[in-house]
Structure 1
Amino acid sequence: MSFQSFDDPAGCSDHPARLAGLRARLAADGLDGFIVPRADAHQGEYVAPSDARLAWLTGFTGSAGFAVVAPDRAGVFIDGRYRVQVKAQVDLAHFTPVPWPETRPSDWLRDALPEGGRVGFDPWLHTRQEIETLEKALADSGIGLIATDHNPLDAVWTDRPAPPVGRARAHDDAFAGETAADKRARLAAELRKEGQAATLLTLPDSISWLLNIRGSDVPRNPVVQSFAVLSDDGHVALFADPAKFDDALRAHLGNEVAILHPEGLTPALLDLEGPVRIDPASAPEAAFRLLESANTQIARATDPAILPKARKNAAELDGMRAAHLRDGAAMVRLLAWLDAQDPAGLTEIDVVEKLEALRREAGITDISFDTICGAGPNGAIVHYRVTRATNRRLTAGEVLLIDSGGQYRDGTTDITRTVPLGPPLPDAVAPYTAVLRGMIAISRARFPQGVAGAHLDALARQHLWSQGLDYDHGTGHGVGAALCVHEGPVRISRVSTLPLEAGMILSNEPGYYRENAFGIRIENLVAITPADAEPGRTMLGFETLTLCPIDRRLIDVAALSRDEIAWLDSYHARVRQALSPHLDSDTQAWLTHATKPLSS
């Protein structure tokens, strides 16, 4: 069983020729430009090889971004996480990295195209909200935004892989904590309450959660690529390749779930009676256009599964705790092994392969994302992915950042630890300590109901800010229960206004990155739980799920407050107590040393 590949998925020299081929096709179609998104029709972060259009065209493999192609330039729009990575992956003679969202695509297009220019887009690959925003920004430019009835990039991608047909399986009701029938009834009742006849579900994790199924269509994310229509009577039309479903799974789904070929989606949407609930933030523009062409009444509203999925029930929380216990033991075994090695005898790939082997022994079905294992300057690439071309030998005196996770039948994990290789690097001590203090601040936070991630984000950054430092990613993302490791809509981010609720699971991962030097990130997963409060007030806090020591060698203990030391000592005592019974004697001894109280 092999999980992570170390080949560069976009590693070739054909990208300029591909760009030229696309431009020729655009000219033949009467288009002056074209938008190439990272997303597929389901707006997933991870895409199947058949949908990796951005990587195929440009070479950029990050999980967010897009390209805009014009006759004389091609921009690759990336946020702060990818500004180092993109320069290493794209041919800078043909593709120009564009800082986004600082530079809006509408402003770039105004500069790149003449008045009257025509910019094409595939309406299946963009949401209604995205297209409305761009149309509004281009309203007085004279530039036309044209929905194509075919994707011109696909026309020149002659060896495009076939769509995935991964095996689907039932997700045990004991792990789900609620039957699929009860979930369908619960969401159908909401539709009836809102006067909606049906809803179109386009997010595979929403559909997989609703039907208690899991799949293998997309690497790292155990979802079934599909669309679904849920009616107000609880019946579901599931549009997915029937070959994915065996007889046992069909029996699990029951007679109220009809499995239909994906080609049936378009006629089904044209035949739907409204009002049809559809989410402009996640559903394809094409779906809106089909409903509008049939004069079907549309109810714009959020995906009705997205918040129920984010609020984990007791069984899901128990499964996540159990998964983190096994995963923590694997991580401790990795860190103990790493400490016993001569760094010069190892590469980044060696560490990744060792960790995957330990997680296999712990029972993973897959890793939850491609492991980020960056030594020295590679650690400064926020979403670095080691390949055979970039593989770096470990060096004493450097810092190693390991961000990884596993998919288990009962839960999903995501953990980052930063460790010194040999003697601690003096320049890393102050930022590491600031990152740790920010992580502890989130862990200890207590807040009233109604508070959003934007209200908490500064807690994680305050000690970095005091040193004139920061990081260009959010502090935390939602995490699924045996589902996608990045799950919307909840986040800890300065732009997230969604109120936090009990049962939601988030990452807590402040960091710091010094280009060409090192990267630092410390990450635990946390579950939102009720907290003590005065009568009449509801307060919330965090339960830390991740069980693994936080390296003490880069800490400036004198910079920590008494409460911060107490938190870390208490956390380490809990880690030691929980994991020791699952470790051999040598690893137990390592763990005892690694979790020695700072206060002693």
Structure 2
Amino acid sequence: MFQDFTAQTDPSQGAGRLAALRGRLAAEGLSGFLVPRADAHQGEYVAARDERLSWLTGFTGSAGFCIVLPGIAGVFVDGRYRTQVRAQVDLAMFTPVNWPEVKPGDWIADHLAEGVIGFDPWLHAVDEIAKLETALAGSGVILRPCANMVDAIWPDQPEPPQGRAFLHPEALAGESSASKRARLAEGLRAAGQRAAVITLPDSLCWLLNLRGADVPRNPVLHGFAVLHDDGRVTLYADPAKFDAETRAGLGDHVTLRPVAAFVPGLHSLPGPVRIDPASAPVSVAQELEDAGVAVATGDDPCALPKACKNGAEIAATRAAHLRDGAAMVRFLAWLDATAPQGGLTEIAVVEALEGFRRESNQLHDLSFDTISGAGPNGAIIHYRVTEATNRAVAPGDLLLVDSGGQYLDGTTDITRTIAIGEPSEPDARDCYTRVLQGMIAVARTRFPKGLAGRDLDALARAPLWLAGYDYDHGTGHGVGAFLSVHEGPQRISRLSNVPLVPGMILSDEPGYYREGAFGIRLENLIVVREAPPLGDHRAQYDFETLTFVPFDRRLILPDMLSASERGWLDGYHAEVLAKIGPLVDGAALEWLKTACAPL
């Protein structure tokens, strides 16, 4: 149930920890140090041992980094976290920096005339350091790989995770590991490459049809893998995580070796060896180069195949979403009955929703810590309630609930914003309806083959732009199949040039946030598919909606919707009732019938 993660970090300790870090840097002859939120595997999510950024600064967001210099320590965060970072760090010690608008190289040049900045080469990708070195070229500042300076001052740093590895059934994966390895190896041979190094946890789990428990809320295994051009894989992971059944399930062509053997294994590889400079740690490239192994750069060979779900994965994900939709409907019916009585808190909402999901007895875990933000807390885009911030859910509030589940057959992610009585903000309905219009625009669009997420992002923002509004996050992220709830390379974002292709699952989640007042976000998951022939029969794609949960009719201004928007919404609600109605009963079913009535 609910866990308060503030025990992992203590912002009041920031001054002492920062002083200790600077003392360590001075002793090592360093002028600064880079502190990312990253681990050696370069996944988005990290274990407690790797939460160096939050331990040092107090900032608990899932993305960001700190650059510690002698006179200033900048905490770089994107638009999702700018409200949160100011609330979490000691502003006398740490300076929030708007990133990516402010480039790290420019910021360093503004605050350090000359010196040496250290970085842990296992915690930074090749491209990341190369870009920073280019930005600093010609200045008096250089970068130097070194031991991790935060680890040196963290006396009670947690031990590495020891989650159990387990097999993911081929019936749900839709393809054997042997088949995946064979077709990716063929690609290596075609490129003239002898092997590829895989560091991303979800990539190696997808390739080997494995799952694990080394990262909270993500069923992934920590390890490194080398895919050879004959389809063999050498997996470097803690053997203690594998029972006899799982070891046997890996097959004869997957060799399990301890993590300590990884670097010697790199040294012995025949080249060229592919690394993905966007995700491979600097140390991997450096070890290969030092051993005289030829290095080739290219995309992680698992990334695109993993993103393009096969028929079995999509069918399984549909089933997971129906189960999850039923839990959400029972929760929303409970919320509508409970909130008017008073006494409800954000934590109570989190606990109740998880309870409804667990009723199916098929929930493996949540897919991330539930965001339950009432009133002004809803404006903190990635808000995570704690005992200290726990707010009563009061009449007049908008309650933003962003949540999801990890099931063996799929990963879910859904956001709904709910009115608690009459909204206290007079334009709340206008804002909600504009967010809904943007979500509908993406859901019902057709688009030519070859377009990327950046080409669709504006569709979701246009209704908000007309009112002078916008939001500081992407419109959608990729989602895994019983893997990470955030999965690349696909996104619906101004920054994404990856073409969308059938089988890719994405979120569709525009929002609007008014600091100090309320937040609105609406989110369904969608999957790219081939669109039926139309017009001159150009190749086009559209989206199948996977999420089936009603929107709050009390916050919709029907007159703002066009006839086609109303038609989509009424059709969607009719489908919700048809699909979810048979899965619920009693008060939840009666609530659902009312919630799904035509506008």
TM superposition score category, shorter chain reference: over 0.9
Displacement of 1:11 in angstroms is 3.2
Please tell me whether the aligned partners of residues 3 and 366 of structure 1 are also in contact (alpha carbons under 8 angstroms): no
Please tell me whether the aligned partners of residues 217 and 368 of structure 2 are also in contact (alpha carbons under 8 angstroms): yes
- Alignment partner, residue 352 of structure 2: 354
Please tell me whether the aligned partners of residues 11 and 90 of structure 2 are also in contact (alpha carbons under 8 angstroms): no
- Alignment partner, residue 164 of structure 1: 161
Q: Does 1:187 align with 2:184?
A: yes
Code of the residue aligned with 1:465 in structure 2: it is: W
- Alignment partner, residue 20 of structure 1: 19
- SS class of match (1:143): strand
The 5-angstrom pairing of residues 78-477 of structure 1 reads 78-115=77-114, 117-148=115-146, 150-343=147-340, 344-362=342-360, 363-425=362-424, 426-477=426-477
Please tell me whether the aligned partners of residues 325 and 549 of structure 2 are also in contact (alpha carbons under 8 angstroms): yes
Query: C-alpha distance in 2, partners of 1:295/1:3?
Result: 51
Code of the residue aligned with 1:310 in structure 2: it is: A
Query: C-alpha distance in 2, partners of 1:397/1:43?
Result: 42
Query: C-alpha distance in 2, partners of 1:61/1:94?
Result: 16
Code of the residue aligned with 1:525 in structure 2: it is: L
- Alignment partner, residue 71 of structure 1: 70
Query: C-alpha distance in 2, partners of 1:5/1:69?
Result: 28
Displacement of 1:585 in angstroms is 2.0
Q: Does 1:577 align with 2:574?
A: no
Displacement of 1:342 in angstroms is 3.4
- SS class of match (2:338): coil
- SS class of match (1:84): helix
Q: Does 1:542 align with 2:543?
A: yes
Displacement of 1:12 in angstroms is 4.9
Please tell me whether the aligned partners of residues 476 and 506 of structure 2 are also in contact (alpha carbons under 8 angstroms): yes
Please tell me whether the aligned partners of residues 424 and 553 of structure 1 are also in contact (alpha carbons under 8 angstroms): no
Listed one character per residue, the Cα deviations across residues 487-507 of structure 1 (whole Å, up to 9, x for unaligned) are: 011000011011000000000
- SS class of match (2:8): coil
Query: C-alpha distance in 1, partners of 2:57/2:313?
Result: 40
Displacement of 1:6 in angstroms is 5.4
Q: Which moved more, 1:335-344 or 1:156-165?
A: 335-344
Distance 1:386 1:93, change over 3 A: same
Code of the residue aligned with 1:161 in structure 2: it is: P
Query: C-alpha distance in 1, partners of 2:121/2:5?
Result: 33
- SS class of match (2:490): strand
Please tell me whether the aligned partners of residues 164 and 241 of structure 2 are also in contact (alpha carbons under 8 angstroms): yes
Percent identity over paired residues: 62
Query: C-alpha distance in 1, partners of 2:359/2:7?
Result: 27
Displacement of 1:108 in angstroms is 1.3
Query: C-alpha distance in 1, partners of 2:204/2:412?
Result: 21
- SS class of match (1:318): helix
Listed one character per residue, the Cα deviations across residues 348-396 of structure 1 (whole Å, up to 9, x for unaligned) are: 0000000011111122110000100000000000000000000000110
Displacement of 1:111 in angstroms is 1.8
Distance 1:5 1:175, change over 3 A: farther
Using the size of structure 1 for normalisation, the TM-score is: 0.98
- SS class of match (2:519): strand
Please tell me whether the aligned partners of residues 441 and 460 of structure 1 are also in contact (alpha carbons under 8 angstroms): yes
Q: How many residues align?
A: 595
- Alignment partner, residue 525 of structure 1: 525
Query: C-alpha distance in 1, partners of 2:299/2:5?
Result: 38
Query: C-alpha distance in 2, partners of 1:10/1:416?
Result: 27
Listed one character per residue, the Cα deviations across residues 380-431 of structure 1 (whole Å, up to 9, x for unaligned) are: 0000000000000011011000000000000000000001001134221111
Please tell me whether the aligned partners of residues 274 and 298 of structure 2 are also in contact (alpha carbons under 8 angstroms): yes
Code of the residue aligned with 1:347 in structure 2: it is: T
Distance 1:536 1:444, change over 3 A: closer
Displacement of 1:44 in angstroms is 1.6
Query: C-alpha distance in 2, partners of 1:178/1:228?
Result: 19
- SS class of match (2:130): helix
- SS class of match (2:520): strand
Displacement of 1:332 in angstroms is 0.4
- SS class of match (1:229): strand
Code of the residue aligned with 2:267 in structure 1: it is: L
- Alignment partner, residue 590 of structure 1: 591
The 5-angstrom pairing of residues 31-46 of structure 1 reads 31-46=30-45
Please tell me whether the aligned partners of residues 3 and 367 of structure 1 are also in contact (alpha carbons under 8 angstroms): no
Displacement of 1:5 in angstroms is 3.6
Displacement of 1:31 in angstroms is 0.2
Code of the residue aligned with 2:173 in structure 1: it is: A
Please tell me whether the aligned partners of residues 11 and 89 of structure 2 are also in contact (alpha carbons under 8 angstroms): no
- SS class of match (1:43): coil
Displacement of 1:39 in angstroms is 1.2
- SS class of match (1:223): coil
Please tell me whether the aligned partners of residues 478 and 506 of structure 1 are also in contact (alpha carbons under 8 angstroms): yes
Displacement of 1:580 in angstroms is 0.9
Structure 2 unaligned spans of 5+: none
Please tell me whether the aligned partners of residues 346 and 393 of structure 2 are also in contact (alpha carbons under 8 angstroms): yes
How big is the alpha-carbon RMSD for the aligned residues of Structure 1 and Structure 2?
1.0
Structure 1 unaligned spans of 5+: none
Please tell me whether the aligned partners of residues 66 and 75 of structure 2 are also in contact (alpha carbons under 8 angstroms): yes
Code of the residue aligned with 1:38 in structure 2: it is: R
- SS class of match (1:365): strand
